[in-house]
Amino acid sequence: MTVTLYANARLLDPATDYDGPGGVIVDNGVIAEVLHGSPSRAVDQTHDLGGLCLAPGLIDIRVKTGEPGAEPKETLKSAALSAAAGGVTTIVVQPDTDPAIDDPAMIDFIQRRGAALNLVRILAAGAATRGLDGRRMAEIGLMDEAGALYFTDGDRVIANSRTLQRVMSYSTVFNGLIAHRPTDPWLCEGAVATGGELAGRLGLSGAPALAERMGLERDLALVELTGARFLVDQISTEGALEALARGRARGLEVAASVSINHLCFNEVDIGDYRTFFRLDPPLRTEADRQALIEAVRDGLIDAITSAHAPAPAEDKRRPFAEAAPGAVGLETLLPAALTLHHSSGLELLEILRPLTQGPAALLGLEAGVLAEGAPADLVVFDPNAPVVIDAQALRSKSKNSPFDGRRLQGRVERTIVGGREVFAR
């Protein structure tokens, strides 16, 4: 295989806190050498990056697709193409497909299909309960052996505390990771917005932000009872962040993810019932958004996700309360995240850590770092290049992007997976 040098770059490695000049030599799909000076070995070809940023490829742990069952929304191939164009080198597919990814054969299908595409790395999360019914525990031990990275019912809340306790208890046998959306399902039943003055003025059914903290307090109590490894999936409120911090202070092994949408938008963006901003969890107040940004800065957030949830036009162009929740986000994840640098003052390493090293450490992946022997999964980007998001030009089959028409700063130039360039602008 060709030995390739990516030279004259601004290296960004959150694992070592390095932000400075350098380069990387790639050989046989792995990083052979990280350079802060001249190369010590011969190379077959050199790419002069002209001072562009070179970082570990992004790892997105929460990606919905339509395959299997709803391929018109999104296939694994269209999701992989979107990921590659967005600098995302690893995606973890959510189990809420049709049929659900709730047995080892389905885990195997996703992995084999992803490998055959030969684009980005496609991995799978397994369902925590059979058919995502919230009552019967799925074969999570067998799915773990098959390669499932963690277990979740996706957007569905496991309301039955005994069921969630059983799932958590069983996961400790093989040190599995359980992810769960924190909310009180009864308070949120039928809600499409965050309860408050804005929702009332728009005539939208709202749920109090407190419902998220209430759900999380229950989940943390179950973690304390069982000793399970736990991921708070898509935390979105200041109150829940405070509960998370208290849980960690008590020594609980709890991580948290946040969607890029909740870092970039607030409830006011709903505007005149714009359904591309119909999300689940719903957009929160500006105070919540600022608290989430500070949580990223402080390291309380382990993973920033795209929360990629494709929905065709016919599911979005409806009255707000009837529109399908969710937004595509794989291709816009990096430029959207870079708004936290340009507008909120976060350092690039602070932004990249929960996009690379954080999720890799959480899921036990070798990627997410610039280190000798690590997979050569890399992204080259210009953090200052202006871009205007055109939803119709996105590679996703669905075009439901809340960033449509937005002017952002940050453009992916190359994406490299296992030493292969899978995207070049």
Those residues with Cβ within 8 angstroms of residue 203's Cβ, 6 or more apart along the chain or in another chain: none
Separation of alpha carbons 375 and 373, rounded Å: 7
Q: How many CB atoms lie within 10 A of CB 161?
A: 13
d(CA 114, CA 187): 39
Indicate the residue type of 386: P
Q: How many helices (H) and strands (E) does the chain have?
A: 13, 19
What is the DSSP code string of 3-49? Answer: -EEEEEEEEEETTTTEEEEEEEEEETTEEEEEESSS-SS--SEEEE-
**What pLDDT score was predicted for residue 376?**
98
* Dist CA 315 CA 329 (whole Å): 17
pLDDT 10s per residue in the chain (425 long)? 789 999 999 999 999 999 999 999 999 999 999 998 777 788 999 999 999 999 999 999 999 999 999 999 999 999 999 999 999 999 999 999 999 999 999 999 999 999 999 999 999 999 999 999 999 999 999 999 999 999 999 999 999 999 999 999 999 999 999 999 999 999 999 999 999 999 999 999 999 999 999 999 999 999 999 999 999 999 999 999 999 999 999 999 999 999 999 999 999 999 989 999 999 999 999 999 999 999 999 999 999 999 999 999 999 999 999 999 999 999 999 999 999 999 999 999 999 999 999 999 999 999 999 999 999 999 999 999 999 999 999 999 999 999 999 999 999 999 999 999 999 98
Structure confidence at residue 288 (pLDDT): 98
Which domains occur in the chain, in start order?
4-53+377-424 (2.30.40.10), 56-363 (3.20.20.140)
| Rg from Cα positions in the chain | 21
Distance of CA 3 to CAs 30, 184, 304, Å?
A: 10, 54, 32
Q: How many CB atoms lie within 10 A of CB 287?
A: 12
CA distance 112 to 109: 5
Cα–Cα distance measured from residue 331 to residue 155, given in angstroms and rounded to the nearest whole number: 21
**What is d(CA 27, CA 420) in angstroms, rounded to the nearest whole number?**
10
Distance CA 421, CA 57 (A): 12
DSSP 283: P
Please provide the distance, in angstroms rounded to a whole number, between the alpha carbons at the two ends of the chain: 23
> Taken in order 336, 339, 341, 344, is the CA torsion positive or negative?
negative
Under 8 Å CB-to-CB from 362, ≥6 apart: which residues? 61, 177, 231, 255, 302, 303
DSSP structural state of residue 130 = G
With 0-12 / 13-18 / 19 or more C-beta atoms within 10 angstroms meaning exposed / middle / buried, residue 334 is buried
Phi, psi angle pair for 62, to nearest 5°? -140, 85
Calpha distance 11→395 (Å, rounded): 28
Q: Which two tokens stand for residue 58?
A: 């992004």
**DSSP type of residue 209:** T
A 10 A CB-CB count for 26 gives: 24
